[in-house]
Chains A and B, each alone.
Chain A
């Protein structure tokens, strides 16, 4: 995929650096030392269109995003019996995407309100939305909120919140390394790298137990440099579904505070994991309760089904109100050159729901129903594999939490399941339980059984 290189003396180092940079994007495995010089055909003198060539002629096709690429492949498959267990997007029993009733209601209210305008939001976003989001994750009675120690800015879903947080840390924080769990959501390292941080991993998942590698986690965080940033999945770890228990969280908190490690929470599944919004926020609240500082990225993509509207928030809990206000002013400087101000529609829907007691209650009921359906799919799949006597211990399917199951299948087995059974999932063996229904569980169980018995 990368261009042929021939030995060519007498080309400036600036061009070499440019090529190095370009090649790293095409194929990150190319070490820069392997580049001695350049082919004279490649971008020595970029030309404009009328010479018949583009200045971007050397741009190579970027690899497909591995998660979204699954859906692309699924869509291309002509088979009538196919299953998309790739992207973590909720589906009903009928396999249809869902717009929550309460969301439809909120949208209708907004459309019917002729006094509503489409003016720019402030740089930090919709004020109501920000306050309500903070209350949702930290708790309405959180002292941090009452003491005005929290700054919350509206961002584009979880991704956008993480990116703005990363850019802020890259500029204002003395440690530029973030420790992220092994494994983690595929987009995490890219977000942090492009946001200006370097990434290291801490042990998290133990393939032997298909559970938490707690010892490894404690050791790795214990040996991180003081002040390092640590990414924590607030609940329903993606992709493994393995969460620390509350006791384990307490130990993690203790260790992190004693080493001065800075927590950066990614909360994408509040309410979706256990069905309870408060229960799913316990880890975050534990850290805030000790008076310390942290960052929290919130997403409403899944728990309100607002995937496409990109609704999220970044909160930074600070030592005091004065610091929080200064931090907010700096967050604005990150946001303005990125997108100026955030989109109004999704945040308006969320604010409408969160501030109305009845709508809020309706939401919690619909949310619990989604969480419950996923839990029941877990049990159905587990039962189906047990009934088939599929070799192996499949209890992790019911122990893991949230939208995903880390099956433990290897990439050959996954490829086999895609080819023979038209089942689409990421190659790390992660399946989205939300994509399953009672009707499709048997097909999946068949496929897993076949993969495990026929492919090593």
Chain B
């Protein structure tokens, strides 16, 4: 809740300041991990917090396709805000990427698309738009979900509800409960779905389950909003990873979709994303887009040009695009290798716990099942940093640190009771609506 301060009578400039009552805010649960990691001086430290890809030497990577695009662009662009040209090109490429180039949606321009400040910005624009046109409507978020989803919809003043998604015992999809929650939500509710590589669990519905979900959404007239942050990074294949969206589209749903180029192109610092909302025809799309632009205009006017030029250059150039797809496959391959290695090492140590989920889960993260207490222990004793829900960014695991990691995890868990600790971990994580300031 926003704090209210006492009214102050400032008679002169030396009067008490305006902000004495302002409390220190808690650190962001994800980005705060990196801060703690940076402050740690141990040479053995490992950052498994934020989902940023690292190579096998633990170094950040600038993709070759990105360097190629930069070289192509250097010195040639005008740096003016381009309300149309660059934005339009980025949107064109983005919607083709997620919906498919040849689809009727794209050909008939039945989409309202706007460039956004990465996935966060795209979700926020949608949340504000949802509030503007459905002021009473809540958003249904899966349990668990990326922690910032709660912040985004809350700051847009949209009430948040949740639906069951992950089962801590099976460490898989809680499908029955998920379907129940979809059915019991009031008709016409807004739902947020992760189309692939669910964050933080790495647990995705299979194709058949997606079809059932889509069908139930039709029955209930729910609005599906997809947060697509990992297209390509789940399976290594762009089209495979957008299968869920394809299923929904084929069922006739007019979805909303937030896309992020942050991880899939390694453009973390550039904040490139896209929000699209499908419509029945082009006119409707134009109307919706005009509203989205208004919302963006009052927030930051227009998005930064550089990153979006990189993305549209890559996607618009067949060689660069092919190179990009190869590099995505390579990133995925390395992550899958690390998953296999980690699981193997833990099993070799004769861990009493079941670690199958490490290789079952998909995408950048492993939802380890480690409790907050174990997480803290790993940080304090072993200088290994992850978020307190036990989410491990596999991208931070390397050939040279995987054994140290396995040993550390084994050390803290060897005497622990699996079920209760993991369930405690999971329950502890369920976010509260009244988010602490």
Between A and B, how many residue pairs show CB distances below 8 Å? 315
Q: Are A99 and B78 in contact (CB under 8 A)?
A: yes
Q: In whole angstroms, how far apart are the Cα atoms of A330 and B154 in the complex?
A: 15
A167 surroundings in chain B (CB, below 8 A): 155
A337 and B154 contact, CB distance less than 8 A: yes
What is the distance, in angstroms, from B304's C-beta to the closest C-beta of chain A?
Answer: 4
CB-nearest residue of chain A to B17 = A319
Instruction: Find B79's partner among A71, A119, A308 (CB 8 Å cutoff).
Output: A308
Residues of B within 8 A of A291 (CB): 13-14
Whether A140 sits at the interface, judged by CB under 8 Å, is no
9-residue interface stretch from B95-103, B131-139, B324-332, B336-344: B131-139
Task: List residues of B (287-306) whose CB comes within 8 Å of A's CBs.
Answer: 287-288, 290-291, 293-295, 297-306
Scoring B residues 120 to 161 as 1 if CB is less than 8 Å from chain A, else 0, what string do you get? 110010001000111110000000000010011011100000
A residues near B193, Cβ cutoff 8 Å: none
Which residue on chain A has the smallest CB distance to residue B271?
Answer: A343
**Closest chain A residue to B297 by CB distance?**
A65
Chain B residues whose C-beta falls within 8 Å of the C-beta of A170 in the assembled complex: 2
Q: Which residue of A lies closest to B60 (CB)?
A: A117
Chain A neighbourhood of B298, CB < 8 A: 159, 163, 187, 190-191, 193-195
| Contacting residues, chain A, for B218 (C-beta < 8 A) | 48, 50
Contact between A194 and B271 (Cβ–Cβ < 8 Å)?
no
Q: Which of B156, B254, B294, B304 contacts A309 (CB 8 A)?
A: B304
Of A52, A173, A345, which one neighbours B280 at CB under 8 angstroms?
A: A52
Known: A55-B254, A108-B74, A325-B24. A171 touches B17 (CB 8 A): no
Q: Are B278 and A327 in contact (CB under 8 A)?
A: no
B70 beta carbon closer than 8 Å to chain A? yes
Q: Does A257 lie within 8 Å of B300, measured CB to CB?
A: no
Whether B18 and A293, one on each chain, are in contact in the complex, defined by CB atoms closer than 8 angstroms, is: yes
Using a CB–CB distance below 8 Å, which chain B residues touch chain A?
2-25, 27-28, 31, 35, 50, 52, 60-62, 66, 70-71, 74-75, 78-83, 86, 117-118, 120-121, 124, 128, 132-136, 148, 151-152, 154-156, 187-188, 217-218, 221-223, 251-255, 266-271, 277-280, 284, 286-288, 290-291, 293-295, 297-307, 437
Interface of A with B (CB < 8 Å)? 14, 17-18, 21-22, 25, 45-62, 64-65, 68, 71, 89, 97, 99, 103-104, 107-108, 111, 116-123, 155-157, 159-160, 163, 167, 170-174, 187, 190-191, 193-195, 226-227, 257-260, 262, 290-293, 301, 305-310, 316, 318-320, 323, 325-327, 329-330, 332-334, 336-346
List 16 extra interface pairs beyond A49-B278, A156-B301, A327-B19, CB under 8 A.
Answer: A54-B279, A59-B133, A62-B290, A111-B70, A157-B300, A187-B301, A194-B295, A195-B298, A257-B12, A258-B12, A306-B79, A326-B19, A336-B31, A345-B270, A345-B304, A345-B306
